[in-house]
Amino acid sequence: MDDSPDIFGDEPEEEALSAADLEAAGQESMFGAPEPRQAPKPAAAAPVISAQPYRVLARKYRSQTFAELIGQDAMVQTLANAIKRDRLAHAFLMTGIRGVGKTSTARLIAKALNCVGPDGQGGPTIDPCGQCEPCLAIAEGRHIDVIEMDAASHTGVDDVREIIEAVRYAAVSARYKIYIIDEVHMLSRNAFNALLKTLEEPPPHVKFLFATTEVDKLPVTVLSRCQRFDLKRIPSELLADHFAMICGKEGVEAEPEALAMIAAAADGSVRDGLSILDQAIAHADLGGDGKVSAVQVQEMLGLADKTAQRRLFAALVGGDATGLLDLIDQQFALGVDPPALLRGALELTHRVTLAQLGRDESSFSVDERNAVSEWAQRLSAGQLHRLWQLLLKGHDEVKTAPDPLVAARMALLRVLHASDLPDPGTLAKQLESALANAPRAESGAAPALEAAPVASLGWEQLIETVDRSGQLRVAQVMRDWVRVITLTPGELTYAVAAGYPGDVGPELRDALLRATGERWTVQRGEGEGAPTLREQAEAKKAAEDAALRSHPLVEAAFAVFPQAEIIEDTPDARVASLGNKWRN
């Protein structure tokens, strides 16, 4: 094929520019000389996409050494002593709430048992090097002799049978073959039974590491074959320090009060706290300055404002009902849940009680410490305990109420009005003062009850005879409606209490005949007659109540509590008791 240029004017392809040409192309031409050829513009660079996706803080800062495992010093010390003395159990069980480091601890134990050191000559150690091949492979989850299994998705006997078959073979490259079974309580009963023999007498090269949040669901036969470690909730102060350290590594500025809020919301769980911190950092970035502030965290978590909490508590103990309702409405409008209002008051009550015992907390703001200190001096222990009980009851009511806002208002108003009542010690002093000023009764004289008319014993016996004969309705009419004028053997003259319909004479005549076997002369007479047995009982009770209310001790109590009511079932016994005490 002819390589000569096309004679019809087609230009040959332009050669690539040399480095000298490119340099000359950037210089200006002189005296209007033609410009040299320009180098083609390079294509726009493609956006750089990170090869590694973002790792959440809970994964990025997972403990890689026992020194990084916060809040579990007792367990770490026990493991360290066991490794030093070569007294390693064949099965370990880690229990505790979510996010305290159960699975991380299992992986750290696997590292500690299989670490060979940077030189490859090391043995089991509580401080694995993190550099040798076993440490790196276990940290990355690719070690062939460290098998992790999720019991939630492998619950049956067949899954356990695979483990039983595999434990017979020695480890491929590690010192120990380790089985980490997470959420072990999810195994079925048959799976547990199948594992028992192997768990009790495993080969010397096998270790079992179990983790669970619900240890109560494990059979006792499994618990007795494991060395158990109960991982503790992480204290809020330790969590706040841990989050501050992570913020420093991440280059994020955070207010101490914001970290304290996150630590309190984490409820002892490191993972929960790191998830909230991740969210708080993202929320702070939207604000522009990238600082995690207490106001942003409060808004993000829907917490009541600390200042508003203190104002609400001040209204409670100060009796300001109008201000209290206004604060409740303001907080509700800001999105604070009604139960959170009572939780805030409960938290402040607890803090004030601790402050009375000298247990002030350093994580509080200066304003809050000053307010808590002032309340601790002004309120008594009895008032604080009563506040706690009332708020706790109100919190339970609000959680189950059909309208939580209305329930919160009523519950807090009840607490406010109850705060005006004296505590038992003050009440006792007020009663003693009232008794000291009351006129004393004469020595040996008990409060007298006005004598009530008593019906003839024969009439009561006659009613009982009618009652025993099976005529219950007529006997009840005789008690409630019949007033005796005269009563002699075989003859009854009576009157009827107002309100009874008709005449009771024929029924009385028939009932007495059937009850006694004799015919009675029963006739309705003139006059009111003696009160019925029911009227006599009511009069007696009214007299007893009047005597009880007139007692000096009861009068003193009513002077302190004007709206009180007497709910004594047996006032006569109560009056006698008060009379004895008064005479003494």
SS (H, E, C) 65-94: CHHHCCCCHHHHHHHHHHHHCCCCCCEEEE
CA 386 centroid distance within chain: 19
Question: What pLDDT does residue 425 have?
Answer: 59
Instruction: Let me know if 452 is exposed, middle or buried by CB neighbors in 10 A (0-12, 13-18, 19+).
Output: middle
pLDDT band for position 436 (cuts 50, 70, 90): low
Give the pLDDT confidence of 220-264 residue by residue, as tens digits: 999 999 999 999 888 888 999 999 999 999 888 998 888 988 888
Helix (H, G, I), strand (E, B) or coil at 393: helix
> Using CA atoms, how far apart are residues 244 and 436, in angstroms rounded to an integer?
63
Question: What pLDDT does residue 176 have?
Answer: 92
Q: Is the pLDDT of residue 311 over 50?
A: yes
The CATH number of the domain covering residues in 306-421: 1.20.272.10
CATH 1.10.8.60 fits 236-301, yes or no: yes
Q: Is the pLDDT of residue 446 over 70?
A: no
pLDDT band for position 71 (cuts 50, 70, 90): confident
Question: What pLDDT does residue 26 have?
Answer: 43
Question: What pLDDT does residue 8 have?
Answer: 38
Top pLDDT among 94 and 558 is at 94
| Percent of the chain clearing pLDDT 90 (strictly above) | 21
Token digits of residue 100: 């305290």
Domain boundaries along the sequence of the chain: 57-230, 236-301, 306-421, 457-530, 537-583
pLDDT band for position 4 (cuts 50, 70, 90): very low
Provide mean pLDDT across the span 306-312.
83
> Using CA atoms, how far apart are residues 131 and 138, in angstroms rounded to an integer?
11
pLDDT band for position 300 (cuts 50, 70, 90): confident
pLDDT band for position 434 (cuts 50, 70, 90): low
**DSSP bridge partners of 91:** 208
Say if residues 290 and 253 touch (Cβ distance below 8 Å).
yes
Question: What pLDDT does residue 568 have?
Answer: 60
Provide mean pLDDT across the span 562-574.
62
**DSSP bridge partners of 488:** 491
> Using CA atoms, how far apart are residues 454 and 181, in angstroms rounded to an integer?
83
Top pLDDT among 444 and 62 is at 62
Q: Is the pLDDT of residue 358 over 90?
A: no
pLDDT band for position 187 (cuts 50, 70, 90): very high
Q: Is the pLDDT of residue 397 over 80?
A: yes
Provide mean pLDDT across the span 360-388.
79
Provide mean pLDDT across the span 448-477.
70
The CATH number of the domain covering residues in 457-530: 3.30.300
Q: Is the pLDDT of residue 48 over 60?
A: no
Fold entry, domain 57-230: Rossmann fold (3.40.50)
Q: Is the pLDDT of residue 341 over 80?
A: yes
Say if residues 326 and 286 touch (Cβ distance below 8 Å).
no
Q: Is the pLDDT of residue 418 over 90?
A: no
Average per-residue pLDDT for the chain: 79
pLDDT band for position 412 (cuts 50, 70, 90): very high
**DSSP bridge partners of 492:** 487, 522
pLDDT band for position 114 (cuts 50, 70, 90): very high
**In 489-503, which positions are buried (b, 16+ CB within 10 angstroms) versus exposed (e)?**
eeebbbbbeeeeeee
> Using CA atoms, how far apart are residues 180 and 183, in angstroms rounded to an integer?
10
pLDDT band for position 287 (cuts 50, 70, 90): low
